[in-house]
Structure 1
Amino acid sequence: MDHKNKKQESNFWKGDPFTGFILGAIVGLIVGSINIATISFPWLGRLCFLGIWLFVGTQPRFKDKRTPEQIAKDKEERDQKFEEIREQAKAREAERQATKEQKREAKMQKNELKLQKNQLKIQKHQLKNRSKIKCPKCRSTNVQPLGVHKKGFSVGKAVGGTILVGGVGSLAGFAGKRSKKTDFVCMNCGKQFKK
C-alpha cells in the first residue's frame, strides 16, 4: 500500500505546486508591470513567476503536512463557519426588513393621524361658520352656502356721484364691485339670503 502511494507521489513536486503557481502569477504580474513602467528588463515578470512556482512547488517545507482526517475536519469547521455567517446575514436581513416594515407602519399611522386632525379642523370650522350664520326667517343655523355673489355696476350710485362730485362721480357706480357676498339657503324653511 505504501509502495503505491510512493509511486503516485511525484519526485519533483514535493511542495505545494498549486499555491506556488497562484503566488508566482500574482508576483509575476506585479513585477512585470513595474518592469514595463521603469526598468524594461526583458522577461523579468515571467522569470519571477517561474522561479516562485518552482521554488514553492519543489520544496517539501511548503507541502501540506495535515492528515486526510485533519483536512476533512478543517473543511467541516470551515463549512460550519460559513453556514453560521450565512445564518447571521439572513438574520440581519430579516431584522432590517422588520425595521423597514415598522417604519412604514409608523409613517402610515402618522399620516392617518394627520388626516384625522385635518378632518377635525374642517368640522370645527364648519361648526363655527354654522353658528355664526342664521336664517333671518326661522333663526335656524342649518344653512348651506350656494355661491359667491358679486355686485355689478350701480346706476343709482353713478348718478348720485355725478350730482355730488361732478363728471368724475360716475365712477361711483363701480364702488360696490369689490364687495363679495355669499348666497345661502336655509335647510329648514328654504329661505334664500345673502350674507
Structure 2
Amino acid sequence: MNTENQKKQSDFWKGDPFTGFVLGAIVGLIVGSINIVTISFPWLGRLCFLGIWLFVGTQPRFKDKRTPEQIAKDNEAAEQRLQELREKAEARQAERQAEKEQKQITSARKREVKMQKNELKLQKNQLKIQKHQLKNRSKIKCPKCRSTNVQPLGVHKKGFSVGKAVGGTILVGGVGSLAGFAGKNSKKTDFVCMNCGK
C-alpha cells in the first residue's frame, strides 16, 4: 500500500502545488501592481508567481502530512462548522423577519389607534356642530340678514282698545272713551336686529 502511494506521488511536486499556485498568484498580482506603478521592472510579478509556486510545490515541508482519516475528520468538522454557520444565519434571518413583521404590526396598530382618535374627534366636532345648530334653531333670527344678534325692545302694544273705551265710557262718561287709546298689552314682543337694524 505504501509502495503504491509512493509510486503515485510525483518526484518533483513533493510539497503542496495547489497552495503554492494560489499563494503565488496573489503575491504575483500585488507585486506586479506595485511594479507597474513604481519600479517598472519587466516580468517581476510573473517571476514572483513562478518562484512561489515552485518553492511551495517542491518543498516537502509544505506537504500535508495528515492521514486520510484525519483529512476526512477535518473535512467533516469543517462541514459541521459550515452547517452551524448556515443555521445561525438562517436563525438570524428568521429573527430579523419576525422583528420586521412585529414592527409592521405595531405600526399598523398605531395607525388604527390614530384613525380611531381622528374618528372620535370628528364625531365630537359633529356633535358640537349639531348642538350649535340646535341652539341657533331656538334663537330668533332676523328675517332680512338671518343674524341671531337680535335684542328685545319691549312688549308690543296695540294702538286702540275697544274694550277699554267702552269700559271708560260706562264708568266715567264721555271722557272714558279716551281710555281706549291708552293701549293694550299683547303677548307679542318687539325685537330689533343689531346687525342690520330691522
TM-score category (smaller protein) = 0.5 to 0.7
CA deviations on 1:163-182 (whole Å, 9 max, x unpaired) are: xxxxxxxxxxxx98xxxxxx
Structure-1 residue corresponding to 2:73: 73
Structure-2 residue corresponding to 1:42: 42
CA deviations on 1:138-184 (whole Å, 9 max, x unpaired) are: x6xxxxxxxxxxx7xxxxxxxxxxxxxxxxxxxxxxx98xxxxxxxx
3-state SS, counterpart of residue 134 of structure 2: coil
3-state SS, counterpart of residue 133 of structure 1: helix
Matches within 5 A, 1:18-29: 18-29=18-29
Structure-1 residue corresponding to 2:99: 99
Give ranges in structure 2 of 5+ residues lacking alignment. Answer: 139-144, 146-194
Q: Which amino acid aligns with 2:107?
A: K
Bigger Rg, structure 1 or 2? 2
Q: Percentage identity across aligned positions? A: 67
Indicate whether 1:31 and 2:56 are aligned: no
RMSD over aligned Cα, in angstroms?
Answer: 2.1
Structure-1 residue corresponding to 2:61: 61
Q: TM-score, normalised by structure 1?
A: 0.66
Q: TM-score, normalised by structure 2?
A: 0.65
- Distance in 2 separating the partners of 1:130 and 1:28: 87
Greater shift, 124-133 or 22-31, is seen at: 124-133
Deviation at 1:45, TM superposition (A): 1.5
Q: Which amino acid aligns with 1:128?
A: K
Give ranges in structure 1 of 5+ residues lacking alignment. Answer: 140-150, 152-174, 177-195
Q: Which amino acid aligns with 1:53?
A: W
Q: Which amino acid aligns with 1:76?
A: E
Q: Number of aligned pairs?
A: 141
CA deviations on 1:98-143 (whole Å, 9 max, x unpaired) are: 1111111111111111111111112222222222333888x6xxxx
3-state SS, counterpart of residue 134 of structure 1: helix
Structure-2 residue corresponding to 1:144: none
Structure-2 residue corresponding to 1:112: 112
Deviation at 1:26, TM superposition (A): 1.2
> Structure 1 residues 59 and 131 mapped into 2: Cα distance closer, same or farther (>3 Å)?
same
- Distance in 2 separating the partners of 1:121 and 1:106: 22
- Distance in 1 separating the partners of 2:56 and 2:64: 12
- Distance in 1 separating the partners of 2:136 and 2:6: 119
> Structure 1 residues 42 and 130 mapped into 2: Cα distance closer, same or farther (>3 Å)?
closer
The 4+ residue runs of structure 1 with deviation greater than 4 A are none
Deviation at 1:46, TM superposition (A): 1.5
- Distance in 1 separating the partners of 2:56 and 2:133: 100
Q: Which amino acid aligns with 1:17?
A: P
> Structure 1 residues 52 and 125 mapped into 2: Cα distance closer, same or farther (>3 Å)?
same
3-state SS, counterpart of residue 96 of structure 2: helix
